[in-house]
Structure 1
Amino acid sequence: MLAMSEINCIKTLRNEKGLSISAVATAMKVNWRTAKKYGDGEQLPQEKLYIKKGMMYEEKWGEIVSDWLEEDLKVKKKLRRTNKKMYEDLQSMGFKGSYRTVCNYIQEWRSAEDDELSKGHERLDHPEGEAQLDFGTMEAVQDGEIVDVHALVMSFPASNTGFAVPMPGENLECFLSGLQQLFEQAGGVPISIRIDNLTPAVKKVRKGDTEAELTEAFRHFQNYYGFQVQVCNPESGNEKGHVERKVGYVRYNFFSTPQSLET
């Protein structure tokens, strides 16, 4: 099967440059049927998505290591954690896997980072004063029953700082009240806040060149505190990956998995 870059090239030569099927086949050094299939086909073949399995992906350990690796990118190499140090720190947190498991995950993470850079995908630049915001659902025991806690988390990628406040829900009242409490925790208001399409904040999601439309209540709140808002593109969690990792950090460090309530 051809690589996606080759398939895109075939479609460009056929549909944008206007080459004949024979000319495309000659230029791309493929047979006529292949050029016809991809040049005139309406749909591109879908790449298979492989679900990664194992304790590093199915449990909290992978997120923890990824967070450490992200932190280490901000410091000098001699100050970064070694693989052995990460393994020992994981063990102190209850990790039961092997040293090799951790090393394999770290190698895979670094390879993925290198691939992104080689494709020209630069890391997002996060200036000081820029924050990211998101809700995360945790489980806690209250009055003998398991209940959901909606933690509103705000993080600052430039300094790797994070703040969180538990709320009973994710409605407008909880959202704005939680934001006020986060500003108090942080000791000030961020210059800008990056959010996804949170219902209390976004009335109409962005599409293409069309900007997202904020709810009236959130727009008044924004004007009062004087911060800027950046709304992520739909289904683009990587644009606020820092706060998503902080949500995981809060979940795994402050909300333990509830045990059976039977005594």
Structure 2
Amino acid sequence: MLAMPEIHHIKHLREKKGLSLSEIVRRTGFNWRTVKKYADGDISVRQKIKRKRGMMEEEGYGQIIDDWLEEDAKLPRKQRRTSKKMYEQLKQEHGFKGSYRTVCAYVQKRRPQLKLEKERRYERLEHPPGEAQVDFGTMSVVTKEGKEEDRSILILSFPYSNAAYAYPLPAENSECFLYGLTQLFRQAGGVPRKLRIDNLAAAVVSIRKGGERQYTEAFERFRLHYGFDVQACNPYSGHEKGNVERKVYYTRQHCFVPAPLIEGDEELAEWLHRKMIEDRARPHYEKGRTIEELWQEEQKELLVLPERDLPIFSFHHANVNKYGEVTVDGEAFVVHGIPVPNRV
């Protein structure tokens, strides 16, 4: 059946313009039978029948399930409620009188609809809540001996609210990167749904033809364990993660000029955490609300942390020299209880 504007257009061409059926077919592209039906026939007005929506919608049980589906979307799949669990919970907690089959049908219908509705809400936003960017920055500190040293600071920023977290690390290798992300997720109280990174050597092995990234095996395991999606920037396109780039600069100017006196990395981590929380009291640069208010909203969109952190480690081959030492990251360690080569 054609829409009413199309029907009126056919009637107008026939009655007001006096065109033949063949000419109307040529102009509109509709089938000849369809044009004949609406050009010379009566337009019957059919009353739309309002269908009864059922107990799930009319008695509010559907909204309860919608809320559960939204909550469960943040959890690992094995921790989500099954249709049977929802049915039992509705009966016990809300006095549901319907059947298990009714609940199954509603869940099957609503799960993809809710996902699509959420994507449509987010596609209007340049930076949807729950998405983050990450990058390293080099900052200067003063040790208790009075010596100025550089520290690698891993910064996780959330563009929607402009909240951020920072963690000091001894290096920018794969193990430090993944350990730092683990600490930042814990500080944030959840896992971002999508993480934007540049082509860090700690995570990206190579860029294949067409822009596809080959990630390190350790980073792939880490991503699967925590459940986030990763989005890599194009080569030489740091502006694609401009929020964290600006946050690195802001953190350096706000926290490390002049260089703070720090006794150790543990103290530096605690101090940085306090500074980033305090910074959320200022207004957002364009939304007219504080970063803290926006962060409280955004935090609800994070994925739930897994019950256990993924162990971070790597295997390397090392040779023992004639002094019973192995060298790791440029530092020699004595290994006791193993045979050493004969000294010459």
Q: What TM-score, normalized to structure 1?
A: 0.49
Q: Mark the structure with the bigger radius of gyration.
A: 2
Q: What TM-score, normalized to structure 2?
A: 0.38
